[in-house]
Chain A
Amino acid sequence: MAALWRGEKRWVVPLTAVCFVLGGLLAVQVRTQRMRGATQVGRQTSALGWLLTDARGQLEKQKEETERLRARVAEYEEEAASEKGLMGLMRDELRNGRIALGLLPVEGPGVELVLDDSTMRGSGEITAQDFFVIHNTDLLQVANELCAAEAEAVSLNGHRLVADSAITCSARLIKVDGVAVSPPFVFLAIGNKENLVSALNIRGGLLDQLRLLQFQVKLTPKDEVVVPAVAIGPVFEYARPVSKEEET
């Protein structure tokens, strides 16, 4: 053994020691990397799973409640319709308000816009793929563009977009008012067809940029578009009308 310290073979001991240290470091590194992957994806997914089932249950309940309330409103309206004059006027007012709030499904001429992820593929890392998928910000931009072009009613994948709608992204999942949607994203908008098409197709605009990156963009003007009502009407917990005294 002493021969290892001297002569031709003296490289063995330091090399062995160093290799030992390196092996240990490597283990730390591999372990950490694996833990990172496991915690980030594993824990998140299971937590999200629970959240999702929870949210779905609540959604079902709330939908039932909405149906019930809607039926009742329809009853009232029918009663009201039988009377003339002021009542009729109020009913029209109510109807307009409800269209604006998205409480009624509406139809009319408009456009259909279908957006899907790019056919290009990012190489290697997951982050590279980020350039080629549709993000919630893209959808927000489209919705904004449609509203700017005076679309009167807009829906995304069957979800009516109204004043308090939110298109969010959490854990790579795009949600419209808390409900997950996945590509292809279908926008339906009612409004002036020509205006809507030209607003969306504006040179250097979002659709132009998306087409450049080979996203699948299909924009078709339609004579008849049906935009559904919101699943859940607005609930006002904090906001209340300003009373007359405070106003002055």
Chain B
Amino acid sequence: MIALPLVALLVGFFIIYPLSPEIGPSWSQYTAIAVVAGFDALVGALRSRLEHRFDEAVFISGFFANMVLAALLAYFGDRIGVDLYLAVVVALGIRIFTNLGRVRSLLITSRLESRRAGSGAV
């Protein structure tokens, strides 16, 4: 099941890539930050699923809202001459790493538990 989203990611990439979309260099940093926000939402979803708190409404709204917000914040920062871009990248970066760490520990815990349950049965 986990393969389906991954395949979708690759399919999306390879459908768009040959179309050679090109956006202006001044806008590309906003899409860049939107991509980072998207990854953050993705990792967040992974974590919440492992914690059995996943809700698709929260996930989808969070994904799009965060992407737009991150890009808007960076844009606003550029207008007023403050590198809010960096603030967004740092904040999202930290979140991605925290969530990944949580995912890792959850996976390890569940593996340990299943092993213990297995050995207990023998």
Q: Which residues of A does B touch, CB under 8 Å?
A: 9-33, 35-36
Contacts and interface: CB of A to CB of B under 8 A. Distances in A.
A27 B16 contact: yes
Contact of B42 (A19, A24, A29, A32): A19
Given A25-B34, A25-B38, A32-B22, A20 B11 contact: yes
B interface residue count range (under 10 / 10 to 19 / 20 to 34 / 35 or more): 35 or more
A14 B60 contact: yes
A25 B28 CA distance: 11
B70 interface: no
23 contacts: A12-B1, A12-B5, A15-B5, A17-B60, A18-B5, A18-B42, A18-B59, A18-B60, A19-B8, A19-B42, A20-B8, A21-B12, A22-B35, A22-B38, A23-B10, A24-B16, A25-B34, A27-B12, A27-B14, A31-B21, A32-B22, A32-B31, A35-B22
Given A14-B59, A18-B59, A23 B16 contact: yes
Contacts, number: 104
B34 to A, nearest CB: 6
Interface SS of chain A: helix
B41 interface: yes
B32 interface: yes
A91 B3 CA distance: 91
A26 B35 CA distance: 6
